[in-house]
Amino acid sequence: MLLHIKNMVCDRCIMAVRQQMEKLNFQISHLTLGTVKIQPDPEGQQLQQIADALKMMGFELIDKEKDQLVERVRTVIIELVHYSDLANLDQSMAGVIASRVNKDYTYLSRLFSDSESLTIEKFIIHQKIEKVKELIEYGEMNLNEISVKMAYSSSAHLSAQFKAVTGISPSKFKSAGSCGRIAIDKI
């Protein structure tokens, strides 16, 4: 059975779900951000046990198809922004999202906005800004290098967007130390 799980955002989430499924004596045949395929198929009470175990870790089972699509969009964006090099994408973010979810982007955009009260574009911006915060904190790249990595047209564009979202410039953020970061699943 394929289960859809909300709030999985990193490799640790995958590890935590794996541990819970094994603890509940399910065999995992496939596990990625947002989904796990288990055997044998859980029955009613077992499904509730899974839901309860996941909820204790901050995850949630998703049963409605529209909610599953929204979560898949979120997962694709998180994977792209946090685990890919945006500068090397061979198509637009919208194109990647539509092809990975296998649905029309306009439909996904409307569905996402209705569900999240936030457009896909704004969600992408917020995710990118969180990644920029992380890169600034690491201190291994300058703002020009970060702007290239995050596919901004210039460091000035990055700075303007950063300030619009956070209320402070990247340099003020850097001088303030590691404050103001938001967990990926809270965006």
Domains of the chain: 2-63 (3.30.70.100), 66-121 (no CATH), 123-186 (1.10.10.60)
pTM of full prediction above 0.75: yes
Q: What is the pLDDT of residues 26-58, one digit of tens each?
A: 999 999 989 999 999 998 899 999 999 999 999
Partners of residue 182 on adjacent β-strands: none
What pLDDT score was predicted for residue 84? 86
Mean pLDDT computed over every residue of the chain: 91
Split at pLDDT 50, 70, 90, the class of 183 is low
Split at pLDDT 50, 70, 90, the class of 178 is low
98 pLDDT more than 70: yes
